[in-house]
A and B are shown apart, each in its own frame.
Chain A
Amino acid sequence: QQQVKQSPQSLIVQKGGISIINCAYENTAFDYFPWYQQFPGKGPALLIAIRPDVSEKKEGRFTISFNKSAKQFSLHIMDSQPGDSATYFCAASRFSNSGYALNFGKGTSLLVTP
């Protein structure tokens, strides 16, 4: 059962445009929502993360928008660059007997064209 649903599956954006990736979750016990960037053949790298007590977090060109009532969160990449072309995963986490295990979305393959 996919606990975090991510869309779109793939995305093509022109250089300088805004890339938007959306995620939704059901479990209200989740209290940590990170985004990871993964290049082919590499491990994921943490981009930005948010806790549910804030509605938005911005770090450079990356912004997370969080809607607690709708149980949705999204990643916005401003001024997208070809170097941003990668797969992006959203995730959600809560404390359990296994520690803070991450539940990943299925990923979005982003292509930024020159």
Chain B
Amino acid sequence: GAVVSQHPSWVICKSGTSVKIECRSLDFQATTMFWYRQFPKQSLMLMATSNEGSKATYEQGVEKDKFLINHASLTLSTLTVTSAHPEDSSFYICSASRQSSYEQYFGPGTRLTVT
């Protein structure tokens, strides 16, 4: 149990376009989902936390108008990178947790390349 999927696994887009990444908990209800970005050979940096039905809480320095997060159901959260630029190229990883649980289950990640 506790499987999290992401779609797409990789995406290439042109500068100025928007890209949507989906994160799904396949076999449990995720009351909280987290979005991270990871640059090569670096650690995971938390971008935002979302609770089902509520607005996302963004970490300091993360532009909420650029990285739109929607957590519309207990199994789906989406991250939309708006007006993407080459510096947004990164590995985006989501995680999900059950209500009042410490454990986070991570998705396989989405490699975004902006040309």
Using a CB–CB cutoff of 8 Å, the interface residues on chain A facing chain B are 32, 34, 36, 41-46, 49, 89, 93, 97-102, 104-107, 109
Q: Given A89-B44, A93-B102, A101-B34, do A43 and B109 touch, yes or no (CB 8 Å)?
A: yes
Sample of 20 further A-B pairs with CB below 8 A, known A43-B109, A93-B102: A34-B102, A34-B103, A34-B104, A41-B109, A43-B4, A43-B93, A43-B106, A44-B44, A44-B106, A46-B105, A46-B106, A89-B43, A97-B57, A99-B34, A99-B97, A100-B104, A101-B46, A101-B49, A102-B44, A102-B95
Q: Decide: B102 and A32 in contact? CB cutoff 8 A.
A: yes
Residues of B within 8 A of A98 (CB): 49, 57
Q: Is B51 in contact with chain A by the CB < 8 A criterion?
A: yes
Which of A36, A41, A43, A98 neighbours the largest number of chain B CB atoms within 10 Å of its CB? A43
How many cross-chain pairs have Cβ atoms below 8 Å apart between A and B?
A: 61
**Cα separation A34 to B105 with both chains bound (whole Å):** 12
Chain A interface main SS type: strand
Residues of A within 8 A of B43 (CB): 89, 104-107
Which size class do B's interface residues fall under? 20 to 34
Q: Is B111 in contact with chain A by the CB < 8 A criterion?
A: yes
Q: Decide: A100 and B97 in contact? CB cutoff 8 A.
A: yes
Using a CB–CB cutoff of 8 Å, the interface residues on chain B facing chain A are 4, 6, 32, 34, 41-44, 46, 49, 51, 57, 91, 93, 95, 97, 101-109, 111
Residues of B within 8 A of A109 (CB): 41
Name the residue on B nearest A2 (C-beta).
Answer: B43
Residues of B within 8 A of A45 (CB): 106
Name the residue on B nearest A33 (C-beta).
Answer: B102
